[in-house]
Every structure is written in structure tokens, then in C-alpha cells.
């Protein structure tokens, strides 16, 4: 199983993912070029090896030929979101077959009004996805009011995840949206990302970290009635290269 992510900078110990990751939420915050995609790809490999189906949402709306080679393994099934019946049938067929899905999404399909739920959000709450899939959200830079439209889904994630069996990995650029108390609570159980401290998702103090080096935070997994302690380390993530 591909469970090694990298190593701790302060020791000779390796950084491995465990089964707990499948059920907790992971946040990867970092600047462009920091290695977010590489880290997400390694997590995705572990989820796939654990026989859990994955939905990878690419909000850059990438054409298939522009997607990185390391995603194009035997588990790669590309689809582009639209609101047509043809899309819905193809998407439903992939879910019924429990296939791994790479979905390109234009964020214009999200609603920009809090009291309106978009068809995209409804699609992401498909019962088959909620019961069987681990989600990956690949954020884009804050262009063209992306986060304004994304509120339709982002600010109501807590209600959404009460229904989920598995967790998610969220790759994101730094943005004030992540100061929202609901989102802090959403990611409280497991952190992976560049953060300036334990309280805020902010990369300002760690922008000089080299590529693939992250500030790693996770909540300890002891049986307790209270929140467990958060541990922090600097880690170096291995570069993943897919060979055909």
C-alpha cells in the first residue's frame, strides 16, 4: 500500500498516512507551486489502495489533455460538469459502477446567492457519492469572484458532512474564507497544510518554505470526551512521479 507521504524534517521518522485519514478531513493550504497537488496525489493513491472510490473536483475546469500525467493511471475517468441530461446519465453510470471520477468544473455553476442551491451543489450531494466516495476539492486562485459563488457550497459544508461516510481533502489557496468558524470546525480533526499558527489558516509566515515542505498539524487520536491536543511538525513530502 502506498501509505508513505514523506518524512519529518526534525527527525529520521517517516510520515505515513493511516486508515484514520479515510474518515477525517484534510486541508492543504499553500501558495502556487508549493506542492499541494503532489501531496493530494499521494493521499489519493492511499485512498485508492484502501478500495475507496474517489471524486476529484478540478475547479480550474481543465481540458483532459492538460491534466497532469500522474493522475492518468488506470483509475482515471474524466468528465466535465454541465447541467445537461447527458452529463447526468454519464455521471450516474460512473457512480453506479463505483468508478474513480476526475471531474472538471467551472465554478460559474455555483450559485452566488446564499438562499439558492445550485444544481452543481445538488450533484455533489448525490446519495451514491455520499455513501461511497472520498472527495478531493482542488481550489483555484480567487479569480472572478470564485469564493462568492463557492459560498453556495463551502459555507454549508458542516450540514453536508453530517451525511458523509468518508472525509475529504481540500487543496486551497490562502483566503479569508478560511477564517470562518464553521470551516475551522470542519477541519479540526486533521490538518495538512501551510499554517502560521494553530488557530488560523494563514500562510503569511511560512511562504519561504521550499516546494513540498509543509507545516503538518493533526489532532491526536486518543479516547476522550474533550478535543485532543493538536501536534505540529515540519514535513518534507516525497515527489510522486507516475510511470506509464
Give residue 70's Cα distance to chain centre: 17
Q: Which of 137, 175, 150, 142 is nearest to 55 (CA)?
A: 137
Q: Is this prediction's pTM over 0.75?
A: yes
Specify whether the CB–CB gap between 13 and 234 falls below 8 A: no
Four-CA torsion 143, 215, 199, 16, nearest 10 degrees? 110
Predicted local distance difference test score (pLDDT) of residue 214: 86
Predicted local confidence at residue 197, as pLDDT: 44
Which of 183, 199, 110 lies closest to 147, judged by CA?
110
- Exposure string (b/e) for 186-197, b if CB count within 10 Å is 16 or more? bbebbbbbbbbe
Kindly state the cell numbers that stand for 233.
511538525
pLDDT at 87: 96
24: helix, strand or coil: coil
CA distance 38 to 12: 21
CA dist list (Å): 7 to 10, 12, 81: 9, 7, 37
Which pLDDT belongs to residue 161? 57
Residue found under cell 462568492: 148
Using an 8 Å Cβ cutoff, are 143 and 101 in contact? no
Mean pLDDT by 10 residues, the chain (244 residues): 89 90 82 88 94 93 90 92 95 96 90 79 87 88 65 61 75 71 57 42 63 82 65 87 62
Please identify which residue in the block is written with the cell numbers 475517468.
Answer: 77
Residue keyed to cell 475547479: 59
Amino acid at each position: 500500500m502506498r501509505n508513505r507521504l514523506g518524512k519529518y524534517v526534525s527527525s529520521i521518522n517517516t510520515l505515513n498516512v493511516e486508515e484514520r485519514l479515510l474518515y477525517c478531513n484534510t486541508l492543504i493550504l499553500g501558495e502556487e507551486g508549493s506542492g499541494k497537488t503532489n501531496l493530494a496525489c499521494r493521499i489519493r493513491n492511499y485512498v485508492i489502495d484502501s478500495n475507496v472510490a474517489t471524486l476529484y473536483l478540478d475547479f480550474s475546469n481543465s481540458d483532459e489533455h492538460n491534466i497532469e500525467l500522474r493522475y492518468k493511471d488506470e483509475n482515471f475517468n474524466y468528465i466535465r460538469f454541465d447541467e445537461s441530461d447527458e452529463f447526468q446519465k454519464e455521471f450516474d453510470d460512473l457512480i453506479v459502477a463505483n468508478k474513480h471520477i476526475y471531474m472538471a468544473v467551472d465554478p460559474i455553476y455555483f450559485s452566488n446567492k446564499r438562499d439558492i442551491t445550485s444544481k452543481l451543489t445538488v450533484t455533489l450531494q448525490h446519495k451514491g457519492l455520499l455513501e461511497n466516495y472520498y472527495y478531493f476539492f482542488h481550489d483555484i486562485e480567487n479569480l472572478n469572484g470564485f469564493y462568492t459563488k463557492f459560498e453556495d457550497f463551502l459555507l454549508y459544508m458542516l450540514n453536508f458532512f453530517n451525511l458523509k461516510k468518508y472525509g475529504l481533502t481540500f487543496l486551497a489557496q490562502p483566503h479569508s474564507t478560511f477564517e470562518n468558524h464553521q470551516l475551522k470546525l470542519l477541519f479540526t480533526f486533521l490538518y495538512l497544510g501551510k499554517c502560521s499558527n494553530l488557530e488560523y489558516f494563514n500562510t503569511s509566515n511560512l511562504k519561504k518554505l521550499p516546494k513540498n515542505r509543509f507545516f503538518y498539524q493533526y489532532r491526536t487520536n486518543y479516547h476522550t470526551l474533550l478535543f485532543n491536543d493538536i501536534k505540529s511538525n515540519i514535513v518534507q513530502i516525497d515527489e510522486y512521479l507516475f510511470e506509464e
